[in-house]
Amino acid sequence: MRRSSLARRTALAVAGLSLLAATPAHAAAPVDRAGVVDSAARGALADAAGPQVDLDITMDLQSLRVSLIGYHSQPGDAPITSYRATFGDGTAETSDSPVFSHNYTEPGEYQVSLTATDAEGRSDSATRTVSVLRWLSRGYLLARSNLRYLSPLTEGSGLQAYRYGAEFLAKVDFADAGNGQVAMYWYGQPGYLTADVDGSGQVGTGAPNVLRGGRFAMIRNRDGSYSVRAGSGRYLSTSGSGGLVLANKTTISRFEQFQRVDAADGNRQFVARANGRYVNASKTASPPLIANATQGLVGQTFDLVAFGGGQYALFARANNRFVTADASGTKPLVNTKVVPLTWERFVLVRNSDGSVSLRSVGNGRYVTAESAGAKPLIARAGRIGAWEQYSLRHR
Domain count, the chain: 3
Q: Are residues 46 and 71 in the same domain?
A: yes
Q: Are residues 220 and 272 in the same domain?
A: no
Q: Are residues 164 and 113 in the same domain?
A: no
Quick one: which of 252, 245, 244 has its CA closest to 219?
252
Where residue 353 sits, what CATH number does that domain have?
Answer: 2.80.10.50
- What confidence tens digit (pLDDT) does each residue in 119-146 have? 999 999 999 999 999 999 999 999 999 9
Q: Are residues 334 and 352 in the same domain?
A: yes
Q: Are residues 109 and 17 in the same domain?
A: yes
Q: Are residues 293 and 365 in the same domain?
A: yes
Q: Are residues 301 and 367 in the same domain?
A: yes
Strand partners, 134: 176
Number of H helices, E strands in the chain: 1, 31
CA distance 117 to 328: 71
Q: Which of 108, 132, 156 is the C-terminal boundary of a domain?
A: 132
Q: Is the pLDDT of residue 267 over 70?
A: yes
Q: Which of 262, 288, 304 is the C-terminal boundary of a domain?
A: 262
Q: Are 380 and 362 in contact (CB under 8 A)?
A: no
Q: Are residues 254 and 144 in the same domain?
A: yes
The mean of the pLDDT values for the chain is: 89
Q: Are residues 282 and 242 in the same domain?
A: no
Instruction: Give the per-residue pLDDT at 12.
Output: 30
Which residues are within 8 A (CB) of 239 and not within 5 positions of it... i.e. 6 or more apart?
Answer: 145, 246, 248, 249, 255
Which pTM does this prediction carry? 0.85
SS3 52: strand
Q: Is 252 exposed, middle or buried (0-12, 13-18, 19+ CB in 10 A)?
A: middle
* pLDDT confidence bin for 240, thresholds 50/70/90: confident
**Termini Cα distance of the chain:** 33
Query: In Å, what is the CA distance from 66 to each residue of 114, 128, 195, 265, 287?
Result: 13, 12, 23, 26, 48
More confident residue, 42 or 225: 225
Instruction: Give the per-residue pLDDT at 23.
Output: 32
CA distance 72 to 141: 31
CA distance 238 to 142: 11
Where residue 50 sits, what CATH number does that domain have?
Answer: 2.60.40.10
Q: Which of 246, 262, 278 is the C-terminal boundary of a domain?
A: 262
Per-residue burial over 331-360, b if 16 or more Cβ lie within 10 Å, else e, is ebbbbbbeebeebbbbbbeeeeeebbbbbb
Q: Are residues 228 and 272 in the same domain?
A: no
- What confidence tens digit (pLDDT) does each residue in 100-115 have? 999 999 999 999 999 9
HSE on the CB side for 108, CA within 13 Å? 10
- What confidence tens digit (pLDDT) does each residue in 277-311 have? 999 999 986 799 999 999 999 999 999 999 999 99
Give the structural domain span for 35. 5-132
Q: Are residues 12 and 109 in the same domain?
A: yes
Q: Are residues 256 and 302 in the same domain?
A: no
* pLDDT confidence bin for 28, thresholds 50/70/90: very low
Quick one: which of 260, 254, 302, 241 has its CA closest to 144?
254
* pLDDT confidence bin for 25, thresholds 50/70/90: very low
Q: Is the pLDDT of residue 4 over 50?
A: no
